Amino acid sequence: MALKIEMLRGFAAVARSGNLSDAAERLGRTPSAVSMMLKQLETHLGEPLFETDRKNKLTALGTFVLDQAERELQQFDNTVKAIEGFAKATHGHVRIATVPSVAGTIIPQVFSRHINDFDNVDIVLRDMDSSSILHELSRDRIDIGIATLGDNGVGLHSEPLLSDRFGVICAPTHPLAQTQGPVSWDALAEERLIANSLSAQIGADASRELHDRALLSAHNLTSILAMVHAEIGVTILPEMAVRTSYSPGLAFRPLADTTAKRTIHLLRRADSTMSPAARLLEQHIRECAREMGLGGPS
């Protein structure tokens, strides 16, 4: 007969209670069932665990077994708690990477509303550009990615999370800042464009021609907006990127081309099963985007 964890639990309960009745009540068993467990354990060991039938004094073997049993029971209970916690999304770890505009809008709302759901979950949040997020996903270094997908979605499960319109960003003294309404591509024909990796994704022919003529490009949002502040030129960015950049004073004018939008996707590896905690976090991100009026492309 092999030793079972419940035998050790029953013995420890009797040893600490000093009698069968109290131990049985604590275990939710009958005194006869607990007595039978003890007999099976003593038969297996070949030695008595108690000095008398009253069960109030341990033998030398009983003292040793109690010490070992309680250590094993604590380890077992902690293991069960960890396994159940992971399965219920109350334990574990989640690695998430997102573009800065989502990191500054949706993610704070997610944690503000649902942080108590992740009390024992280790969450690592990184903000980076879309190409870096796709690279990290391909290397299995993050669990959830929030980025523009482009043509690099091989091996990824993708779900549109939100769409974001592009607009022209210019200094407050720029003539375009004094106008009302959307800006046409023709109105930008003579402007000095500060190109960037986001605006380069716009597929319209007029946009491609404008970018082909651009002599200045930058990839860091802070650098781009600083050059616009310095009136070096204008740039084209998604509205959310501008709203979360903490650059007051700059004017945003939406493009007249309503097809000029970026779609941000919720991403994960297609060949990996998400942990319960990651799945719960993904659900909260989706819900918050929808409640904020950002969910799904329009």
pLDDT of residue 297: 47
Give me 64's structure tokens. Answer: 């040793």
Q: What's the CATH superfamily of 91-162+262-291?
A: Periplasmic binding protein-like II (3.40.190.10)
CATH of domain 165-261: 3.40.190.10
pTM value > 0.85:
no
Concatenated DSSP letters for 50-109? Answer: BSSTT--SB-HHHHHHHHHHHHHHHHHHHHHHHHHHHHTTSEEEEEEEE-HHHHTTHHHH
Of 40, 31, 38, residue with least CA distance to 52: 38
Walk along the chain (298 residues) in steps of 10 and give the mean pLDDT of each run: 84 90 88 90 90 88 91 85 69 89 92 89 91 91 91 84 93 91 94 93 93 91 92 94 79 94 93 88 94 64
Q: What is the largest CA-CA distance in the chain?
A: 101
In this structure, whether the domain defined by 5-87 belongs to CATH 1.10.10.10 is answered with yes
pLDDT of residue 142: 93
Asked if the domains at 91-162+262-291 and 165-261 fall in one CATH topology, the answer is yes
Domains in the chain: boundaries: 5-87, 91-162+262-291, 165-261
